[in-house]
Structure 1
Amino acid sequence: MYLLGYDIGSSSVKVSLIEASSGKIIASDFSPKKEMKIIANQPGWAEQNPSDWWINLKLANESVMQQSRVDAEDIKAIGITWQMHGLILVDKDQNLLRPSIIWCDSRAVSYGEKAFQQIGTEKCLSHLLNSPGNFTASKLAWVKENEPEVFDKIDKIMLPGDYIAMKLSGQTGITIEGLSEGIFWDFKNQCISEDVTNFYGIPKSFFPEIVPSFGIQAEVSAQAAVELGLKAGTPISYRAGDQPNNAMSLNVFNPGEIASTAGTSGVVYGVLDQLDYDPKSRVNTFAHVNYTEELTRLGVLLCINGTGILNSWLKHNFATSLSSYGDMNELASLSPIGSKGISIIPFGNGAERVLENQETDCSIHGINFNIHSKGDILRAAQESIVFSYEYGMNIMREMGMDIKVIKAGNANMFLSSIFRQTLSSVSNAVIELYDTDGSVGAARGAGIGIGFYANSDEAFASLEKIAIIEPETEKREQYIEAYTHWMRHLQAAL
């Protein structure tokens, strides 16, 4: 028996097939091999064509099926995870009406700020647990005002994973977790927010049927089965946004547990058991994967847009003579803690929530032509990303979160010893690295959704811890000094 997981990212679509009983990865692949295009027709805009996600899902799925040689009859469930906060619009025939406005698009900031003030800051925070900000609801308000001909044709609004589920099944649906990440969910009244829909003028008919995060949500249609080489009727039994899913992938379900990722954007995500929020919405509170009306499980999410994208930008524009990220890490390791005084403000990928939706852009400070080299800049980039995490984690600590252990997948920037050691030492937290990723987690979630696993502990019994990173206590003063130096430059930029 096998389980299939789909991860719809902004860089690529990843597909993993696991054996249900052992949790072993049978096959995995991603597409495209180069990063997917992000359309930016104006500064601060970011769009992708959802049909590209579907094309790349089919390519990666085909590769996985060929690698594994598994009979489609033996695949018993599918799980889906996705880049959060994207807006997908379809008409009554399920045709796309426009490209998706994705997570790092900043065009709707002013719409969210206006809603925050006019609905009322206290009411937004106590009911939505966030400002409407630059999230999905505000993006839809932008479409209504700027593209009324598109708005008039809308039959359903969805998040990226809902679109993939629709392509798989022909049915539309949305989860409470998805509604909450779009800032459509009223946590106090346990319903789609009347305040948001009334203020923005969003008809309730736009929302698909609410489906559970875990459970039979839909089944693979005959058409999709032919396209993907799957069995018609295979249940889709789990879906969640990428950060709740990444936490779930690390067996983070309970209050006080912390997960982190460091891909294109970076996240620290902690679980709460009571309604709480940051008064300035610098970190955001959403429904976690195991949230129900009876069980309060919320995810506090710190998101840094300028994370792996900074490292990628340096590789393609600055460190072009180096063939891999490993080579970059090796060169950076020759620079000491603090990068000889260089500080980088890494916020060059749209409005940053942690900075109250300001766009400060990326800047480099302190270069001396006589003493600094390429390696110093490469190390400063990694340190600056960690320092932006620490800046946000201090906000989480103000909310009462005790960050002692951070769980992460052994991927992306966590592959860098500089990154993970700096994070451990600055935050004074132990980092546990695991052999998992979002697509594998989605597959395990699918197993929970069909009841193959009795509980989360059983689902993650085979999760392999591959490394533990302890703070460098004897050098912590050097890390704190570098962080303090970085903070002075950030404060000057704000």
Structure 2
Amino acid sequence: MLLLGIDLGTSSIKVSIIDAGSKKRIVSKQYPETEAEILSVQQGWAEQDPKTWWSYTKTALAKANATGLYDPKDIKAIGIAYQMHGLVVVDQEQQPLRDAIIWCDSRAVDIGDEAMEVLQAKGFLASHLNSPGNFTASKLAWVRKHEPATYARIYKFMLPGDYLAMCLTGEINSNSSSLSEGVLWDFQQHALSDTLLNHYEIDKSLVPDLLPVFSTYGTILPQVADELGIARDAVVSYKAGDQPNNALSLNVFEPGEVAATAGTSGVIYAVTDQLLYDAHSRVNSFAHVNHQTGKPNIGVLLCINGTGIQNSWIKRMTANGLDYPQINEQAAHIPIGAAGVRVLPFGNGAERMFRNKTVHAHIEQLDFVRHTEAHLWRAAQEGIAFAFRYGLDILRENGLHPQVIKAGHANLFLSKVFQQSFAGATNVPVELYDNDGSVGAALGAGLGAGVFTDRKEAFSGMQHYATIEPTETALYDSLYADWKQSLERKLSTIS
């Protein structure tokens, strides 16, 4: 029996085929090979056409099937991980009514802030653990306010992973973990948030049906099964946002366990059994994949919009055709500190850890005589690591003190410069594993379909790649202090 994991990312769709018996990856493929387009018709906006997600998924799976390494008819369970906080709206024919408003879109910040001014007097943070911010519910409120004709035609709204599951099964449903990331879950009532729906005047009928995270969301449509070449009785049995799923892929389930990822955005995700929230909503708390009534498991998420996208931008501007391994190798020859070059990697919209301020990216102290492209490449990765340290300090303020951080050996964590910088700047060891989001989605599908009896069985094949111990921590502390001073000067100029 085979499991299919689909990871709907901002840059691409990645699929992995896992043998349920051995728990081993047979093959992984992604599409597109280059980064998918983000549409931004106004400053602070970020959209993608959801139909391209479905097209990319089919292409990625076709590439995997074409390897001949397995029989697609043996695929019986499908799991989906997806970019969080997005909004997809469809009509009764299940057709998208507009492009999806994705996670890094900032247009709804003011709407969320205005809602918070009213709702906090009613204890909104204590019950929802987050400000409405620019999350999914606020994005839907933006559509209602600014695109009333589109809003009037909405049959259902959903998260990106719900849309992909709908394409596979024809069913529209979601779960409490997904809705909590849209700030639509009341943790005190253990129910859908009437408080925010009523405030935004959103009809409850627009909400997808709710199921447990690990459950049967639907059987694949016969015509879709035939098109994809997979079994007609295959089911979608797991859905989760990319960060809860990244934690799952690293076997991070219990209080005290911590995961990190550094893709387009960067995240530290710490699990706690407390209904914990930050008074300023600089970090966010969502229902983890194993959250239950009476047994809370909350994922506290620190998000940095500008991580891998900063690294990618520097590459496009300066690398002259070099690939990432070549860039990383040259950056490794530059001493720690990049000879004074300093990068603030915040050019991807409003940052929640800055209370939704937009700082933009900055390159400082560049010397045209002393510095080369390799100095920029190292400075960019160090700047991203310092952004993680800034965010980790916010988690520490809220009582979370990781002793070890788990991460997949992927994206920026493929770079030894970044590995060293991250561990040195945070002063926390990093355990790297050869799992990724698509593998995690496949294992989640196995749990949801009852293929695995428990978590221990599901992760018995997990491969540890390396542990990165912090080094040069005094030097990184000094460099971080200077970097933070530059950041605070920028923040002081923003109202």
In the other structure, the counterpart of 1:142 is: 142
Instruction: Report the alpha carbon displacement of residue 454 of structure 1 after superposing the two structures with TM.
Output: 1.5
User: In the aligned structure 2, how far is the partner of 1:294 from the partner of 1:95?
Assistant: 38
Is the 8 Å Cα contact of residues 13 and 56 (structure 1) preserved in structure 2?
Answer: yes
In structure 2, relative to structure 1, the CA distance for the partners of 1:413 and 1:122 (3 Å cut) is: farther
SS of structure 1 residue aligned to 2:67 = helix
In structure 2, relative to structure 1, the CA distance for the partners of 1:125 and 1:68 (3 Å cut) is: farther
Is the 8 Å Cα contact of residues 13 and 56 (structure 2) preserved in structure 1?
Answer: yes
User: In the aligned structure 1, how far is the partner of 2:348 from the partner of 2:400?
Assistant: 27
Which shifted more, 306-315 or 230-239? Answer: 230-239
In the other structure, the counterpart of 2:490 is: 493
After superposition, give the CA deviation of every residue in 1:444-475 in whole Å (9 maximum; x if it has no partner). Answer: 00111111211111110110001111111xx2
Aligned partner letter, 2:313: W
Is the 8 Å Cα contact of residues 341 and 482 (structure 1) preserved in structure 2?
Answer: no
**Mapping 1:297-308, distance limit 5 Å:** 297-308=297-308
Instruction: Report the alpha carbon displacement of residue 95 of structure 1 after superposing the two structures with TM.
Output: 1.2
User: In the aligned structure 2, how far is the partner of 1:211 from the partner of 1:335?
Assistant: 51
Is the 8 Å Cα contact of residues 219 and 236 (structure 1) preserved in structure 2?
Answer: yes
Aligned partner letter, 1:355: F
Aligned partner letter, 1:491: E
Is the 8 Å Cα contact of residues 303 and 353 (structure 1) preserved in structure 2?
Answer: yes
After superposition, give the CA deviation of every residue in 1:426-448 in whole Å (9 maximum; x if it has no partner). Answer: 21111111001101110000111
In structure 2, relative to structure 1, the CA distance for the partners of 1:294 and 1:332 (3 Å cut) is: same
Is the 8 Å Cα contact of residues 76 and 233 (structure 2) preserved in structure 1?
Answer: no
In structure 2, relative to structure 1, the CA distance for the partners of 1:467 and 1:414 (3 Å cut) is: same
SS of structure 2 residue aligned to 1:120 = helix
User: In the aligned structure 2, how far is the partner of 1:257 from the partner of 1:121?
Assistant: 33
Point out where structure 2 has 5 or more consecutive residues left out of the alignment: none
**Mapping 1:211-222, distance limit 5 Å:** 211-222=211-222
Is the 8 Å Cα contact of residues 404 and 428 (structure 1) preserved in structure 2?
Answer: no
In the other structure, the counterpart of 1:242 is: 242
In the other structure, the counterpart of 1:153 is: 153
In the other structure, the counterpart of 2:295 is: 295
In the other structure, the counterpart of 1:484 is: 481
SS of structure 2 residue aligned to 1:346 = strand
In the other structure, the counterpart of 2:173 is: 173
Aligned partner letter, 2:110: S
**Mapping 1:308-457, distance limit 5 Å:** 308-320=308-320, 322-457=321-456
Is the 8 Å Cα contact of residues 13 and 60 (structure 1) preserved in structure 2?
Answer: yes
Is the 8 Å Cα contact of residues 26 and 69 (structure 2) preserved in structure 1?
Answer: no
User: In the aligned structure 1, how far is the partner of 2:239 from the partner of 2:68?
Assistant: 23
Aligned partner letter, 2:433: Y
In the other structure, the counterpart of 2:199 is: 199
Point out where structure 1 has 5 or more consecutive residues left out of the alignment: none
After superposition, give the CA deviation of every residue in 1:132-155 in whole Å (9 maximum; x if it has no partner). Answer: 001001100110011000000011
* TM-score (ref. length: structure 1): 0.98
Instruction: Report the alpha carbon displacement of residue 399 of structure 1 after superposing the two structures with TM.
Output: 1.4
SS of structure 2 residue aligned to 1:17 = strand
User: In the aligned structure 2, how far is the partner of 1:77 from the partner of 1:367?
Assistant: 52
User: In the aligned structure 1, how far is the partner of 2:423 from the partner of 2:33?
Assistant: 31
User: In the aligned structure 2, how far is the partner of 1:305 from the partner of 1:72?
Assistant: 36
After superposition, give the CA deviation of every residue in 1:169-202 in whole Å (9 maximum; x if it has no partner). Answer: 1111011011000111111111111110011110
Aligned partner letter, 2:92: K
Aligned partner letter, 1:86: G
User: In the aligned structure 1, how far is the partner of 2:397 from the partner of 2:121?
Assistant: 19
**Mapping 1:48-63, distance limit 5 Å:** 48-63=48-63
After superposition, give the CA deviation of every residue in 1:275-303 in whole Å (9 maximum; x if it has no partner). Answer: 01111111100000111223201101011
In structure 2, relative to structure 1, the CA distance for the partners of 1:355 and 1:218 (3 Å cut) is: same
User: In the aligned structure 1, how far is the partner of 2:490 from the partner of 2:375?
Assistant: 21
User: In the aligned structure 2, how far is the partner of 1:445 from the partner of 1:424?
Assistant: 29
Aligned partner letter, 1:452: V
Aligned partner letter, 1:337: I
SS of structure 2 residue aligned to 1:43 = coil
In structure 2, relative to structure 1, the CA distance for the partners of 1:68 and 1:240 (3 Å cut) is: farther
Is the 8 Å Cα contact of residues 76 and 231 (structure 2) preserved in structure 1?
Answer: no
In the other structure, the counterpart of 2:19 is: 19
Instruction: Report the alpha carbon displacement of residue 208 of structure 1 after superposing the two structures with TM.
Output: 1.2
User: In the aligned structure 1, how far is the partner of 2:331 from the partner of 2:69?
Assistant: 42
Is the 8 Å Cα contact of residues 121 and 131 (structure 1) preserved in structure 2?
Answer: no
User: In the aligned structure 2, how far is the partner of 1:407 from the partner of 1:271?
Assistant: 12
In the other structure, the counterpart of 2:275 is: 275
**Is 1:89 aligned to 2:89, yes or no?**
yes
User: In the aligned structure 2, how far is the partner of 1:159 from the partner of 1:172?
Assistant: 10
Which shifted more, 221-230 or 388-397? Answer: 221-230
**RMSD of aligned alpha carbons:** 1.1
In the other structure, the counterpart of 2:37 is: 37
Is the 8 Å Cα contact of residues 13 and 31 (structure 2) preserved in structure 1?
Answer: yes
User: In the aligned structure 2, how far is the partner of 1:68 from the partner of 1:273?
Assistant: 45
SS of structure 2 residue aligned to 1:244 = helix
User: In the aligned structure 2, how far is the partner of 1:78 from the partner of 1:378?
Assistant: 38
In the other structure, the counterpart of 1:65 is: 65
Indicate the percent of aligned positions where both proteins have the same amino acid: 49
Instruction: Report the alpha carbon displacement of residue 401 of structure 1 after superposing the two structures with TM.
Output: 1.1
Which shifted more, 308-317 or 359-368? Answer: 359-368
Is the 8 Å Cα contact of residues 410 and 435 (structure 1) preserved in structure 2?
Answer: yes
User: In the aligned structure 1, how far is the partner of 2:122 from the partner of 2:276?
Assistant: 12
Is the 8 Å Cα contact of residues 6 and 13 (structure 1) preserved in structure 2?
Answer: yes
Instruction: Report the alpha carbon displacement of residue 478 of structure 1 after superposing the two structures with TM.
Output: 0.7
How many residues align? The count is: 491
Aligned partner letter, 1:265: S
SS of structure 1 residue aligned to 2:253 = coil
Is the 8 Å Cα contact of residues 284 and 301 (structure 2) preserved in structure 1?
Answer: yes
In the other structure, the counterpart of 2:186 is: 186
Aligned partner letter, 2:176: I
Instruction: Report the alpha carbon displacement of residue 69 of structure 1 after superposing the two structures with TM.
Output: 4.8
